[in-house]
């Protein structure tokens, strides 16, 4: 069996200039390259944001203890910038986040309408 490298004209292939690349193929190649760059940038951005967010402190500065008034049972607690709110029955108690001192009592109307 003859080798094509010996004489390409034997097999119907004529040596000559290469065919120009079709415009659609050139566009597709550029599109795939741009998509690859955008995906790499997106993955790097997501990883960077995850690292930044996971290193942030998750809890606010809390006082050592908070003393509730006698007979009050806490049902929910939420944190603000410099305050802590304790929901207890028909009232909301606002404490200072730094010292844990009671700042304000807010009555919540719980009557039937």
pTM of the model: 0.47
pLDDT tens, the chain, 113 aa long: 555 555 555 566 566 678 788 889 999 999 999 999 999 999 999 999 999 988 877 666 777 888 888 888 999 998 888 899 999 888 999 998 888 889 999 998 765 44
60-57-94 Cα angle (round to 5): 10
Q: Tokens 């065919």 identify what position?
A: 19
| Residue 50: CA count within 13 A, CB half-sphere | 6
| Nearest one of 32, 12, 13, 30 to 21, comparing CA atoms | 30
In order, the DSSP letters of 8-56 are GGGGTPPP-PPPPPPHHHHHHHHHHHHHHHHHHHHHHHHHHHHHHHHHS
């Amino acid at each position: 069996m003859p080798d094509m490298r010996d004489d390409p004209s034997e097999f119907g292939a004529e040596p000559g200039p290469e065919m120009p690349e079709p415009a659609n193929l050139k566009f597709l190649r550029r599109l795939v390259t741009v998509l690859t760059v955008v995906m790499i940038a997106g993955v790097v951005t997501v990883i960077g944001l995850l690292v930044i967010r996971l290193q942030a402190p998750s809890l606010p500065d809390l006082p050592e203890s908070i003393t509730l008034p006698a007979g009050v049972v806490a049902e929910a607690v939420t944190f603000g910038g410099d305050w802590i709110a304790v929901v207890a029955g028909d009232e909301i108690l606002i404490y200072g986040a730094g010292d844990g001192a009671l700042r304000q009592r807010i009555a919540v109307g719980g009557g039937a309408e």
